[in-house]
Amino acid sequence: MGGTGDSELVVVAQFLMEQEFLFARGRLESAGIECFCSNEYLSRISSGIYNGMTGGIALKVRQEDVADARAILDDPGKPYLVR
C-alpha cells in the first residue's frame, strides 16, 4: 500500500476481528480500490486483545473512492452453495 498523494483518507469501516478486515480489504482491492489501514499490526501483535480499546482495525480509502467502497462493503454478495 503506497502513499496517499494529496487525497484525504476516509474510514469506511472498522473491524474488531482481523479476518473480517482482511476479507473486506480483499473485496475492495479486487475492485481496484486502493486501501489503507490503521491498527492492523497492533491487532496482530496483541492477538486482538486491544481491539476494543483502540476501536479495532480502521479500513480507509481515498475520498474519491468512498461511495464505491461503501457500496461494495454494503453488498453481501451471492451466497456460495456447497453440495
Cα four-point dihedral sign 31, 52, 76, 21? positive
Locate 63 and state its grid cell: 475520498
* pLDDT computed for residue 1 by the predictor: 44
Q: What is the mean pLDDT of each run of 10 residues along the chain (83 residues)?
A: 69 89 94 88 55 74 97 83 65
In a domain, 37, yes or no: yes
* pLDDT computed for residue 8 by the predictor: 94
The count of structural domains within the chain is 1
* pLDDT computed for residue 77 by the predictor: 75
Contacts by 19-22, CB closer than 8 A, 24 or more apart: 21/56, 21/57, 21/59
In a domain, 35, yes or no: yes
In a domain, 83, yes or no: no
3-class state of residue 50 by DSSP: coil
pTM, rounded to two decimals: 0.73
Q: What is the span of the domain harbouring residue 55?
A: 9-74
